[in-house]
Structure 1
Amino acid sequence: MENFYCEHEAPAEAPQESDPLAISRRTFLVATAAATTLPSMALPRPQEPTADFEVTTQIHVNGQNHQLAHDSRATLLDTLRDKLHLSGTKKGCDHGQCGACTVLVNGRRVLSCLTLAASCDGDEVTTIEGLGTDEQLHPMQQAFIDQDAFQCGYCTPGQICSAVALLKEARAGQASYLTPLQPKPELSDAEIRERMSGNICRCGAYLNIVKAIRQVQGA
């Protein structure tokens, strides 16, 4: 006879099959830590680049010869300012769009921010400091003062170097987009503006810049 006062044992549960995809939180954390740690322990650190970019360049700047050891990727602008401490040449846009960095290389105007210093090996470079002296200004420098052809002055060194080259180019018969097709064409104001269009003046002193160039042209 069944005794209702006796505890009956609960029937044993059927064993569950283990889920091969089941994972505990502890197992997940251990596996994650191992995955992020082992690769850094097993792989060596990348080596620093050992390429030698230093070159030696001979540059004649403002009448003085310089032998410079510099990075082959250095621009003429940075070399003039950082190596030779000629801070008159200004860094504007650093993309060849404003003309503030204009200097003369073998008498021709170049954008020094786009010119590699190594490409000027053996060349004659003239910056704003080399055009005149404190006692005797270059005629173009004096004309810019006389005609009040600047305001803040940041773009002025590039403007003056460009203007000096402009007159040299015109006298040599080098044509611009606006040069009329006639013997010995006159240098008009419109052509001066065209030839100076690569030099931006944020202060808007363009009218007086043209007057300064006219002053030197007629001297």
Structure 2
Amino acid sequence: MQEEKPFEAVYLINKPYEWTSFDVVKKVRNALKIKKVGHAGTLDPLATGLLIVCAGKKTKSIDTYQAQEKEYTGTFVLGSTTESFDLEREVVPVADPLHLTLDQIKGAVAELTGDILQIPPMHSAIKVDGKRVYESARKGKTVQMDPRPVTVSEFEITRCQLPEIDFRIVCTKGTYIRSLARDLGEKLQVGAYMSKLTRTRIGEFKLEQAEDVLKLVEKIKKERE
């Protein structure tokens, strides 16, 4: 009798708005009825787009997928900011951005392109002293975080209709797009936050290849029956 091969699979999923990355993993795990399921790179709940989910033996490849180049599109809003630099927290006005020219904005963008040092946002899943920093942030505590080297190989403004600007960014693992919003707002002295984010690519894998999570779950259940 031939021995059954250990299960292995990689799923490309379009993470829905307001779902956590773990919500997606949990759905796939429950459908597969196996414990070894994980994702290769967190997307914030208010972000959408490509999430790679590995199951069974393929969970050993998670680090490889996580290390690959990422591409994002989205929208920054100039003139205001939030504590989380996205729409998770209340929007606070900073300064009127309508005097800014496209050249001024592109100049600030150029300073945030290439090899840069970036401080992660307080509302992030990074661990400091064994605790997630967002847990401290939600309790009103400030955690000291050191700047981290990241590479933003492409930072393109695709639409400028102030106070909104649309962007396309290609970057390395560990780059926080919310931090780029914060830093851009500081350079322009008007504040900024991210109102929309979609991950369009991880390495060679593209969002167009991704499946709807609920449709995928139904397909998995039928295959596993």
Question: TM-score normalised to the size of structure 2?
Answer: 0.24
- Larger Cα Rg: Structure 1 or Structure 2? 1
Higher RCO (C-alpha 8 Å, min separation 6): 2
Greater per-residue strand proportion? 2
